[in-house]
Chains A and B, each alone.
Chain A
Amino acid sequence: MKSFEFFEPTTLAEASRLFAEEHAQLLAGGTDLVIGMKALTETPQSVISLQKIPGLTGITTEADNSISIGAMTKVREVELSADILQHHTALAEGAAEIGSIQIRNLATVGGNIAHASPAADTVAGLLVADAQVHIASADGERTVPINELFTGPGETVLTPGEIITRFRLPSPASGSHYIKHKIREVMDLAFIGVAAAINMDNGTIAEARIGLAAVAPTPIRATEAEELLKGNAPTPALLEQAGEAAAAASSPISDLRCSAEHRREMVDVLTRRTLEQASERASG
């Protein structure tokens, strides 16, 4: 690891000011940053910890049934939160897929998103929750819908000095589910990840959201598939069509883990399965 100066600001304003400087990097839980610094892919001259800033952690349910998750909330907490489990099951399931308990006790949901890995396990769940990303900087606050946050692998619309403060999840869907394709049962990175959230209305799908991870340079929503589903009953034939549409929407790469073709096929299979599960939950 290269040496760096370490700062532990206690206010967002101070953190934002320090982070806006050149060669500065934020430290949340450290599980991405410390790895990067060890591998020398990250060589910041100053590291600014967010750990001492009050108000960035915790999960709260608002009067309008929306849920707010502080950016510094540990993914272990997201995974175990009764509210998230009930209303945003896909997100809780995604959080539970990250690394090990030891990692989830460190990793934050803000870091998982800000790091912008296309394979991040909370991202599909947040996509189908239609999460709003609240961002603070010296210039004030702004809000970005999660599906507009990412611009490429490791790239977001965040500018120097901008810090994610929380995620706001508007009114929940009635059923959602996340599936990760992997080899090892735990401690594997997603070959692909698929989340689906469904609202049912009298046996037909009123609203469907499908979030895909590790199938394109950024996490994406499978909008054509979502359209196909809307207003129809979740029959096996329809879900199969949706799976195919989601696969068609993805543009995966081949790498050492598997081929692009395999990824696309898994999008097909797993979209069908997540939809099945999500619509069952939504009906139940």
Chain B
Amino acid sequence: MSEYTVVGQTVARVDAVEKVTGAAQYGADVHPPGMLYGKLVRSKHAHANIRSIDTSEAEKLPGVRAIITQDDVPSGRRVFATDKVLYLGEPIAAVAATDPDIAEEAAERIKIDYEVLPVVQDVMEAIKPSAPRLHGDGTKDGPNRREISGEIRTLSRDKENDHSDAISNLEAELENYPDEVYYNISAESHTEAGDVEKGFAESDVVVEDTYVIPRVHQTYMEPHVSVASADSSGKITVWASTQGPFAIRSGIAGTLGIPLTQINVIGTTMGGGFGGRFGVIITHVPAVLLSQKTGRPVRVQMTREEEFTDGRPAPGCVIKLKTGATNDGRILAREALAFWDSGSVSGASIGSTIRVRGVYKIPNLKVDAYGVHTNKSGTAAYRAPGAPQAIFAGESQLDEIAERIGMDPVKFRLMNMREEGDEVPAGSSEPKVGYKETLEAVADAAGWWDREAGENQGWGVAVGDWTNGCGPGGVYVSVHEDGSVRIFHGSMDITGTDTAISQIIAEILTVPYESVTIRRGDTDSAPYSTGSGGSVVTFTMGNTAKLAAEDAHRRILELASERLNTNVDDLELRDGKVHVTSADPPKSISLGELAAYSLSTTGGPIVGKGSFARQASTPALAAQIAKVEVDPGTGRTRVLKLVASQDVGFAINPMAVEGQIEGGTVQGYAWAMMEEMQYDENGNVNPGFVDYRVPTSADLPTVESVIVEVPAPNGPYGAKGVGEPPITPTLATMANAVKDAIGIRINELPIKPEKIVNALKSNGH
């Protein structure tokens, strides 16, 4: 640690003051002069044909400036529903008015005549031949059915340990429908390694269960918003609260069929994203179209209710999982069949079903996954997309096996964890990762080895893995004549990544963190940058920043060698000064003096440039332990202790890293215990915080975080992306703790009080 002076230290974030004083400008804080307020007109049905749209009453309302439908999309690319709506809340038209209340009133006045169609919301219903088809009869995108090999047909379960009504109903129904054809399939993915049948045959214990995970919303606290301004030359400016301004730019350009350079996207400060703020979200294009039509800037801002009906949440899924192991604790085979609820469009993270393999040596693995259409909005990424769902199944079942063979759950995991050089099932060779170190760290910190549990109390452990992504990015660094350093780039900061970039550059240029400032450009000015998600920023932009600083470093030594008439090899940059290493008496020149010198000679400003695309990333592990107490009378569960460790490679800003661990863990806790988007034939029925419960501070104890650092070979200073891993194990951590407390496993999330009471009842309590 001590070899560095700035990285590895906790520092206040670069945006600290603006964030605590209300000065930071978020999307909805942008208010160009003359701005109009846009409002989307949304479907009131979950599945219906549109017979007609009548805007005449709305047009009469004073203050209404424009009403647009699909007819107003010059490129013809689908922005609004025309003939058919597939979910409650699907946009059909948009209005711009001088006042938000007028826009809302106008939207209400637009009369849409619907022919209501049968609805399907449950994935296990949707795959049946009797289900209504969303994209049926070959008229819409893609095929609507898939033939599959008859190998995995029915969903069965471990009857003794499973008390979910939903699952038993589902099984009963599955028994009488043709099992070789699934309907409403949006995508599929199949992976196989080894021979699972052989693996199960050789196993002493085989456990099979079905896990049901609900659709949940990312619930970033700032609802989607865009402000667009189209000027008379055709130039479009979009202020967007987004994780990826460059992706928005290309998305809008593609949808409208116009060149990239005609659009400038300005990324505003963003109120959370967690994956839900990528790409062209629902508000951008309507805002642009309304601005083009009215010649005035237009803001389209979603309400919280619209977030729930027309956001792009994380998919729910049903996973049937089977695991075989020997009595001495070796896992031999695992097989999964998963149905992911992709809503009305394809795109659920079905590929993540492979995460059921965990970080274990499993010689035989088979994974089949399907995306299934239902009458819901489409889905998007949510913090380690797909992993929490798959890992919930995998880590829950692991505990069941541990229990059957009488092994401690931590020891069982340690024994099966892959080590450097081991083969990753259906993957390549395992690099060096702190799997065991991380699990041991959490066990030690939580007091696992001498844990005590009172009546109705229980302990749960689980681990989850994730590998950060990476993508292209660019950073410029310039050194000013007062010795200060300025950074310029185009990547969005939510979690403190600007701070990490600043720390890295300060470290390399040996200046105090305080003398570095960072500035984000818009898509017109900044170099391309990949979106901020997939834990990419620290890895990508950290590496990019390093390259830029090293470039500047090189330039600084060149200039100093010219100025001091010394060979570059005899120079060293230290404490913000270039020193002649061999000089006696000491001789040095400060960065400020060099910058000034360079300006007045032929050198020009000191500029360093970094450009980066990709390098192999290293997996990261999150390991968590929870202690809970269940009230058997009411079924309410209280978390008494929540400890989370994570192999972060290297913590550039430990306070920010802890913040990521704590935040991700709590999101996982909520998915396990309370969050669930509920649907009926009318669509989403809990579109607000009253019945879509996100936890408050009163629901939780302090989350204890433990940082483990096993460096990633290609990460900046060994750092890995830290944002996503912490949510991956928590669902199972909680389920395992509840099982330990009440002796019954609940495989259908969220583990609400009613489910616990019913489980206890059916177990004779």
- Give me the interface of A with B, judged by CB distance under 8 Å: 1-3, 40, 181-189, 191, 256-259, 262, 265-266, 269-270, 273
A residues less than 8 Å from B678 (CB atoms): 256
* Given contact pairs A256-B686, A270-B634, A273-B633, A184 touches B105 in the complex (Cβ within 8 A): no
Give the CA-CA distance A124 to B36 in the complex, in Å.
47
Contact check, A183 vs B693: say whether CB atoms are below 8 A apart.
yes
Give the CA-CA distance A27 to B180 in the complex, in Å.
61
B residues less than 8 Å from A185 (CB atoms): 696, 698-699
Give the CA-CA distance A182 to B637 in the complex, in Å.
11
Contact check, B108 vs A40: say whether CB atoms are below 8 A apart.
yes
* Given contact pairs A1-B101, A3-B101, A269-B633, A184 touches B693 in the complex (Cβ within 8 A): yes
Give the CA-CA distance A140 to B312 in the complex, in Å.
56
B residues less than 8 Å from A262 (CB atoms): 753-754, 757-758
Query: Which 6 pairs show the lowest CB-CB distances between chains A and B?
Result: A185-B698, A262-B754, A269-B633, A186-B698, A258-B754, A185-B699
Give the CA-CA distance A269 to B765 in the complex, in Å.
13
CB < 8 Å: which of A40, A181, A187 contacts B753? A181
Give the CA-CA distance A191 to B691 in the complex, in Å.
11
A32 to chain B: closest CB distance in Å?
12
Contact check, A186 vs B696: say whether CB atoms are below 8 A apart.
yes
What does DSSP make chain B's interface, helix, strand, loop or mixed? loop
For residue B295, CB closer than 8 A to chain A, the reply is no
24 contacts between A and B (CB under 8 A): A1-B101, A1-B104, A2-B101, A40-B108, A181-B634, A181-B753, A182-B636, A183-B674, A183-B752, A184-B674, A184-B693, A184-B696, A185-B696, A185-B698, A185-B699, A256-B685, A256-B686, A257-B691, A258-B752, A262-B753, A262-B758, A266-B634, A269-B634, A273-B633
Contact check, A183 vs B636: say whether CB atoms are below 8 A apart.
yes
A53 to chain B: closest CB distance in Å?
28
A residues less than 8 Å from B636 (CB atoms): 182-183
Give the CA-CA distance A1 to B695 in the complex, in Å.
29
A81 to chain B: closest CB distance in Å?
23
Known: A184-B674, A258-B754. 20 other contacts (CB 8 A): A40-B108, A181-B753, A183-B636, A183-B674, A183-B752, A183-B753, A184-B693, A184-B695, A184-B699, A185-B696, A187-B689, A187-B696, A256-B685, A256-B686, A259-B754, A262-B757, A265-B757, A266-B634, A270-B633, A270-B634
Contact check, B754 vs A188: say whether CB atoms are below 8 A apart.
no
Contact check, A256 vs B691: say whether CB atoms are below 8 A apart.
yes
For residue B20, CB closer than 8 A to chain A, the reply is no
Most chain B C-beta atoms within 10 Å of own C-beta, residue among A2, A185, A259, A270: A185
A192 to chain B: closest CB distance in Å?
10
B residues less than 8 Å from A266 (CB atoms): 634
B residues less than 8 Å from A3 (CB atoms): 101
For residue B221, CB closer than 8 A to chain A, the reply is no
Interface residues of B, count at CB 8 A: 25
Give the CA-CA distance A279 to B108 in the complex, in Å.
54
Give the CA-CA distance A273 to B752 in the complex, in Å.
21
Which B661-676 residues have a C-beta within 8 angstroms of A? 673-674
For residue B690, CB closer than 8 A to chain A, the reply is yes
- Nearest CB to that of A40 among chain B residues? B108
A residues less than 8 Å from B685 (CB atoms): 256
Give the CA-CA distance A118 to B693 in the complex, in Å.
20
- Nearest CB to that of B305 among chain A residues? A39
A residues less than 8 Å from B689 (CB atoms): 187
B689 to chain A: closest CB distance in Å?
8
A30 to chain B: closest CB distance in Å?
17
A residues less than 8 Å from B758 (CB atoms): 262
Give the CA-CA distance A269 to B754 in the complex, in Å.
13
Interface string of B94-107 (1 = CB under 8 A from A): 00000001001100
B458 to chain A: closest CB distance in Å?
19
B574 to chain A: closest CB distance in Å?
53
Contact check, A188 vs B105: say whether CB atoms are below 8 A apart.
no
Give the CA-CA distance A62 to B434 in the complex, in Å.
70
Which B245-303 residues have a C-beta within 8 angstroms of A? none
B residues less than 8 Å from A181 (CB atoms): 634, 753
A154 to chain B: closest CB distance in Å?
16
Give the CA-CA distance A2 to B693 in the complex, in Å.
29
- Nearest CB to that of A1 among chain B residues? B101
- Nearest CB to that of A272 among chain B residues? B633
- Nearest CB to that of A99 among chain B residues? B690
- Nearest CB to that of B693 among chain A residues? A184
- Nearest CB to that of A182 among chain B residues? B636
B424 to chain A: closest CB distance in Å?
39
Give the CA-CA distance A256 to B688 in the complex, in Å.
13
Give the CA-CA distance A270 to B691 in the complex, in Å.
22
Give the CA-CA distance A189 to B693 in the complex, in Å.
11
A residues less than 8 Å from B698 (CB atoms): 184-186
- Nearest CB to that of A258 among chain B residues? B754
B residues less than 8 Å from A2 (CB atoms): 101, 105
B residues less than 8 Å from A183 (CB atoms): 636, 673-674, 693, 752-753
Interface string of B531-548 (1 = CB under 8 A from A): 000000000000000000
Give the CA-CA distance A185 to B693 in the complex, in Å.
11
Give the CA-CA distance A257 to B634 in the complex, in Å.
14
A215 to chain B: closest CB distance in Å?
15
B264 to chain A: closest CB distance in Å?
34
B residues less than 8 Å from A184 (CB atoms): 674, 693, 695-696, 698-699
Give the CA-CA distance A258 to B634 in the complex, in Å.
12
B residues less than 8 Å from A258 (CB atoms): 752-754
A residues less than 8 Å from B752 (CB atoms): 183, 258
Most chain B C-beta atoms within 10 Å of own C-beta, residue among A40, A181, A273: A181
Give the CA-CA distance A219 to B502 in the complex, in Å.
60
B63 to chain A: closest CB distance in Å?
11
Give the CA-CA distance A90 to B101 in the complex, in Å.
41
Give the CA-CA distance A189 to B689 in the complex, in Å.
11
